[in-house]
Amino acid sequence: MASDAVFLLEEDDVGLTTIFAHGQYHEFTNWTAADGLEAAANKWPAKEAIVFDDVSYTFADWNAKANQVARWAKSIGLKKGDVIAVMMENKPECLFMWTGLAKIGAVAALINNNLRGKPLMHCIKVCVF
DSSP β-ladder status, 107-110 and 83-86 = parallel
53 and 70 Cβ atoms separated by less than 8 Å: no
- Domains of the chain plus CATH, in order, are 32-128 (3.40.50.980)
Amino acid at 103: K
pLDDT at position 30: 65
pLDDT, residue 69, reads 97
pLDDT score at 22: 53
Is the pTM here over 0.95, yes or no?
A: no
Q: How many CA atoms lie within 13 A of 120 on its CB side?
A: 9
Contacts of 67 (CB under 8 A, 6+ apart): 100, 103
